[in-house]
Chain A
Amino acid sequence: MKFDQPAGTNPIDRMKVVGKPTTRIDGPLKVTGHAPYAYEHQELPGKPAYGYVVGSAVAKGTIRSMDTSRAERAPGVVAVVTHRNAGKIAKGNFNTAMLLGGPKIQHYHQAIAVVVAETFEQARSAAALIDVDYARDGGAFDLAAAKVDAPDATGSDAPTAVGDFAGAFAAAPVQLDQMYTTPDQSHAMMEPHATIAAWEGDKLTVWSANQMVAWGAGDLARTLQIPPENVRLIAPYIGGGFGGKLFLRSDVLMASLGAKAAKRPVKVALTRPFMGNNTTHRPATIQRIRLGATKDGKLTAIGHESWSGDLEGGGPESATQQTKLLYAGANRMTALRLAVLDLPEGNAMRAPGEAPGLMALEIAVDELAEKLGMDPVKLRVINDTQVDPEKPERPFSQRNLVRCLEEGAERFGWARRKAPGQVQDGRWLIGMGVAAAFRNNLNMKSGARVRLSPSGQVTVETDMTDIGTGTYTIMAQTAAEMMGVPLAKVTVKLGDSSFPVSAGSGGQWGANSSTAGLYAACVKLREAIVSKLGLGPGEAVFENGQVHVGNRVADIAAAAKGGEIVVEDSIEFGDLGKKFQQSTFGAHFVEVAVDRYTGETRVRRMLAVCAAGRILNPTAARSQVIGAMTMGVGGALMEELAVDKRFGFFVNHDLAGYEVPVHADIPHQEVVFLDEADDKVSPMKAKGVGELGLCGVGAAVANAIYNATGVRVRDYPITLDKHLDKLGEVV
């Protein structure tokens, strides 16, 4: 099905199942431990052995020599694979560095060997017996230093300019020109990267934790240089990803190589200390924002530049993305500059671009509001735009940012906010902050297969993944709505590369695109049923397991009496995304308390108001948003991969050193969704919410801290040391 015209009225609009708060259909499996995650699959073609990955001890250089003989002789060891015996390995399309290093080393903890043994403990212990002699090279590890001569990014990341930014900024009666920084961040999801690989002849099956099944399977074939049809990737349950599992990673490759060498299935899970340096991370940014406004708060000049670094051949963190679209203003420029750094590979993490971009931009707007003596909600409202400010002929498909801000302000009691440093509660300094949330809506081609059995059971098959987001449930809701059956009559099978290729889970495109693909397949199934039952022309209504056409009625199951009906289709998106700017919006409100003595920040209340099209399942969507708000608090207050600029690696590479929020850090969180349906986006009229919930949270926290203390911090995370000495004397 091609989606190139705004959606008319369709069966989803009935919203008998879609749009209803629905608990997870996979919940019972998960809470009883019956949902197999990558490392846990039991139906393997042989007894599995265990692989343990060895990472490079240096950030950059060459392996001069490597002695694996002690490891090979260690108890239980079945095989040791390194670059010397791995065969020819290529680089996948989505990887920047090789997943198996050696002799050249590109980053710290780059995988250089996998030791396979009968038990995990034997493999781990033997792994420590590999002796490696490195020739260490110097590298670039310091973004602030490398920034100086970093060139402009190119392609879709190239600089943009409209009007005369420099002139308008210079002439603006009110100006803001500030630098902001965001640190490298780690996905730190619960389930580590994990894979079981098994070869049968030249066919390879991997059970893996991967958000994008087709990308993963394709890159695995490419990396191993085998035909794509020889690879099957199975990923029915995934314990979080946040972008860390968008791509093929070393667990998959090393398990596959290990299994080949061991001639039996091999399990590999990356250990926690590998998370920081072996896998990808969100790159740090240094951002400069210049805003010029008239005295009454109209933006006349908007400039946003951002510097980030990556390995040679990598990409920038596109932190200026939202600045092209969020506020009106005739004169504007954005620029991304990319330095080459020899730190591990930077890549997408939840809301790449907007998450760190808004952390800076939305502090800047708060600062400008203060300079103007204007309420920051009002400043955002008066600079709203209903068209793409860089291309005014492109309207937004739907944009209710102003409503989010105003309704949020009302619900949060924003009017009670005082000037900075005015509210105290015992030893606590209290403040409120606001920030706009913005994240582009992306759509991806997505396919699904639907089966109708003689008993009237509807089975959905697609390689779409559920990374803990609730995909199983919204897919079941969509099929139930389309086919007029209860949820219990729908079986959903996900995450298998033998199923039709879907959008996968990333960029908050998963929910809308994959349900739209399923919608297309269900439309086909409805047509097949009507034709099979000979119900003739007319509008078909599917309800209570029956189909009505005019005054003719039949059970849908009857259509499959002679045998299962199987149909397949996909949704392909035309140019509506070009004609209309499709984005999601929100407003975050936060109240914090800062300890006057120690500078510790505790978040007291949080509210998000989101405008993100039709909400397919309010229960799951709320979970997405509160999870994202939690992640936003982490980014605001504590998350930072600490760079060692001499050795070139992230030092705090475990969950003791890389702190994420714990329960005690997270207060009452409230989420409101505006009642929307965006017909330009898809037949589901839905958009993404999973990343929107994170966008802007950091700045809302930062602005609340400023409102509490009167001390502005522009470098994340806002740990107590950043403002402690400015909080006023205590004796």
Chain B
Amino acid sequence: MRPFTYERATSAQDAAAKVAATPGARFIAGGTNLLDLMKLEIETPTHLIDVNGLGMDKIEAIDGGGLRIGALVRNTDLAADARVRKDYGVLTRALVAGASGQLRNKATTAGNLLQRTRCPYFYDVNMPCNKRKPGSGCAAIGGFSRPLGVIGTSDACIATHPSDMAVAMRVLDASVETIRPDGTTRAIPIADFHTLPGQTPHVETALEKGEMIISVAVPKPKGGTHIYRKVRDRASYAFALVSVAAVIGKDGKGAVALGGVAPKPWRVEEADALLPKGSKVVADCLFAGATPREDNAFKLTLAQRTIAAVLAEAKA
């Protein structure tokens, strides 16, 4: 870990402006991802701006329906919120499928969206990795890629985005609300928030320099059965091989997004329309143009079968 300086922000705009103005500055929220990466020198910020304590830890109703979730709302609190449990069950289920109780107590809504990949080569600074060190190459391609992506990847990076929460947010059509250093705000649809790697896998989101997440808005409840099914190598405390977030109505129509397969929560709107036709066509649509590796091609089969499990559960 490199030496760094630390300060507490006084307001969201103050934080955004400081991060923009100070070379090597980063926001820190729960710290559960950033600190781990700093200890391994995968992240090397020289200045941390603490955004805790800015009052962004509330969940508020939006006029006309929907919820505005503060950027600093802890994963535990979000999962336990009565409104979320009642109307956005997929979000609660995704949250509690992630990490551990202790981590969820610390982890924040913004930090969760911005957590970085769990590609094992990204974690080993001796290995080439375009995401960690642009231009150095990708050690995962041709190596141990079993946990990595099968679609939306590029020849520069095949990492996945590891968040469970983000997959639920995607199926709920959430939008990420931000403030920029100049004080202007905007709402970025979750679909556009995470970007695909292309030749610049170190760029992971649409956020500009210094732009800070202040909240995440979910539109009014979708109704239907909310399911989050996370498939992994052990029963708990592991990242998804494949996960499926779905909201499915009585008529079999709904929305579906996948985790564990792509550099971002993976949703293809046309696939939603195919849900009444069964898992195979849905999966074919979601994975058109997939580029699996030998050791992770099983994810295509697994995704289709997990969608099938979710459809069966929705019917039951």
Q: Mark B231-269, 1 if CB is under 8 A from A, else 0.
A: 111111111010000000000000000000000000000
From A57, A58, A600, name the one whose CB has the most chain B CB atoms within 10 angstroms: A600
Task: Please tell me if A619 contacts chain B, counting CB pairs below 8 Å.
Answer: no
Q: Mark B56-85, 1 if CB is under 8 A from A, else 0.
A: 000000000000000000000000000000
A39 to B80, CA, bound (A): 39
B126 touches A721 (CB 8 A): no
Task: Please tell me if B144 contacts chain A, counting CB pairs below 8 Å.
Answer: yes
Task: Please tell me if B143 contacts chain A, counting CB pairs below 8 Å.
Answer: yes
A663 touches B236 (CB 8 A): yes
Which residue of the partner chain B has the closest CB to A665? Answer: B235
A731 touches B309 (CB 8 A): no
Task: Please tell me if B302 contacts chain A, counting CB pairs below 8 Å.
Answer: yes
For B209, the chain A residues whose CB sits under 8 A away are none
Partner of B41, one of A128, A661, A663, A730: A128
A642 touches B146 (CB 8 A): yes
Give chain A interface residues in 537-560, CB to chain B under 8 Å: none
For A595, the chain B residues whose CB sits under 8 A away are 309
B233 touches A654 (CB 8 A): no
Task: Please tell me if A424 contacts chain B, counting CB pairs below 8 Å.
Answer: no
Give chain A interface residues in 252-304, CB to chain B under 8 Å: 273
A637 touches B234 (CB 8 A): yes
A654 touches B1 (CB 8 A): no
Task: Please tell me if A653 contacts chain B, counting CB pairs below 8 Å.
Answer: yes
Give chain B interface residues in 247-306, CB to chain A under 8 Å: 278-280, 298, 301-302, 305-306
How many positions in chain B have a CB within 8 Å of any CB in the partner chain?
Answer: 40
Task: Please tell me if B118 contacts chain A, counting CB pairs below 8 Å.
Answer: yes
How many positions in chain A have a CB within 8 Å of any CB in the partner chain?
Answer: 41
B139 touches A730 (CB 8 A): no
Task: Please tell me if B23 contacts chain A, counting CB pairs below 8 Å.
Answer: no
B121 touches A597 (CB 8 A): no
Give chain A interface residues in 355-369, CB to chain B under 8 Å: none
For B236, the chain A residues whose CB sits under 8 A away are 662-665
Which residue of the partner chain B has the closest CB to A75? Answer: B3
B231 touches A720 (CB 8 A): yes
B144 touches A642 (CB 8 A): yes
Which residue of the partner chain B has the closest CB to A654? Answer: B123
A597 touches B305 (CB 8 A): yes
Q: Mark A642-681, 1 if CB is under 8 A from B, else 0.
A: 1110110001111011010111110000000000000000
Given contacts A647-B139, A657-B120, contact A598 B306 (CB under 8 A): yes
A646 to B142, CA, bound (A): 9
A662 to B3, CA, bound (A): 35
For B139, the chain A residues whose CB sits under 8 A away are 644, 647
A600 to B308, CA, bound (A): 15
Q: Measured between C-beta atoms, what is the minimum distance from A142 to chain B in Å?
A: 13
A597 touches B146 (CB 8 A): no
For B39, the chain A residues whose CB sits under 8 A away are 124
For A75, the chain B residues whose CB sits under 8 A away are 3
Q: Measured between C-beta atoms, what is the minimum distance from B218 to chain A in Å?
A: 28
Q: Measured between C-beta atoms, what is the minimum distance from A604 to chain B in Å?
A: 12
B142 touches A731 (CB 8 A): no
Task: Please tell me if A500 contacts chain B, counting CB pairs below 8 Å.
Answer: no
Which residue of the partner chain A has the closest CB to B100? Answer: A662
For B3, the chain A residues whose CB sits under 8 A away are 75, 125
A637 to B233, CA, bound (A): 8
Which residue of the partner chain B has the closest CB to A658? Answer: B120
Q: Measured between C-beta atoms, what is the minimum distance from B99 to chain A in Å?
A: 11
For A646, the chain B residues whose CB sits under 8 A away are 142-143
A125 to B139, CA, bound (A): 25
Q: Measured between C-beta atoms, what is the minimum distance from B240 to chain A in Å?
A: 11
B302 touches A638 (CB 8 A): no
For B143, the chain A residues whose CB sits under 8 A away are 644, 646-647, 651
Task: Please tell me if A510 contacts chain B, counting CB pairs below 8 Å.
Answer: no
Task: Please tell me if B203 contacts chain A, counting CB pairs below 8 Å.
Answer: no
Q: Measured between C-beta atoms, what is the minimum distance from B174 to chain A in Å?
A: 26
Given contacts A273-B40, A642-B144, A647-B139, contact A598 B2 (CB under 8 A): no
Partner of B118, one of A598, A642, A656: A656
For A315, the chain B residues whose CB sits under 8 A away are none
From A595, A661, A664, A720, name the one whose CB has the most chain B CB atoms within 10 angstroms: A720
B298 touches A721 (CB 8 A): yes
Partner of B309, one of A427, A642, A721: A427
A724 to B308, CA, bound (A): 13
Which residue of the partner chain A has the closest CB to B123? Answer: A654
Partner of B237, one of A124, A599, A662: A662
B40 touches A662 (CB 8 A): no
Give chain A interface residues in 511-538, CB to chain B under 8 Å: none
A731 touches B1 (CB 8 A): no
A731 touches B237 (CB 8 A): no
A661 to B40, CA, bound (A): 25
Task: Please tell me if B191 contacts chain A, counting CB pairs below 8 Å.
Answer: no
Give chain A interface residues in 289-327, CB to chain B under 8 Å: none
Give chain A interface residues in 127-153, CB to chain B under 8 Å: 128
For A661, the chain B residues whose CB sits under 8 A away are 234
Task: Please tell me if B124 contacts chain A, counting CB pairs below 8 Å.
Answer: yes
Task: Please tell me if B127 contacts chain A, counting CB pairs below 8 Å.
Answer: yes
For B309, the chain A residues whose CB sits under 8 A away are 427, 595, 597-598, 730
A48 to B127, CA, bound (A): 33
For A647, the chain B residues whose CB sits under 8 A away are 127, 139, 143
Task: Please tell me if B312 contacts chain A, counting CB pairs below 8 Å.
Answer: yes
Q: Mark A616-659, 1 if CB is under 8 A from B, else 0.
A: 00000000000000000000011000111011000111101101
Given contacts A651-B121, A659-B233, contact A597 B312 (CB under 8 A): yes
A598 touches B235 (CB 8 A): no
Task: Please tell me if A177 contacts chain B, counting CB pairs below 8 Å.
Answer: no
Q: What 7 A-B pairs are tightest by C-beta distance, nearest first? A: A597-B309, A664-B235, A721-B298, A57-B126, A664-B236, A730-B308, A651-B144
Q: A597-B308, A652-B120, A731-B279 are in contact. List 16 more A-B contacts (CB 8 A).
A: A121-B1, A124-B39, A125-B2, A128-B2, A427-B312, A656-B118, A656-B239, A662-B235, A662-B236, A664-B235, A664-B236, A720-B302, A724-B305, A730-B279, A730-B309, A731-B278
Chain A residues within CB distance 8 Å of chain B: 57-58, 75, 121, 124-125, 128, 273, 427, 595, 597-600, 602, 637-638, 642-644, 646-647, 651-654, 656-657, 659, 661-665, 719-721, 724-725, 730-731
A-B CB contact pairs (8 Å), 29 listed: A58-B126, A125-B2, A128-B41, A427-B309, A427-B312, A597-B305, A602-B235, A637-B234, A638-B234, A642-B146, A644-B143, A644-B144, A646-B142, A647-B139, A647-B143, A651-B120, A652-B144, A653-B120, A657-B123, A659-B238, A662-B235, A720-B231, A720-B233, A721-B146, A721-B298, A721-B302, A724-B298, A730-B309, A731-B278
Chain B residues within CB distance 8 Å of chain A: 1-3, 39-41, 118, 120-121, 123-124, 126-127, 139, 142-144, 146, 229, 231-239, 241, 278-280, 298, 301-302, 305-306, 308-309, 312
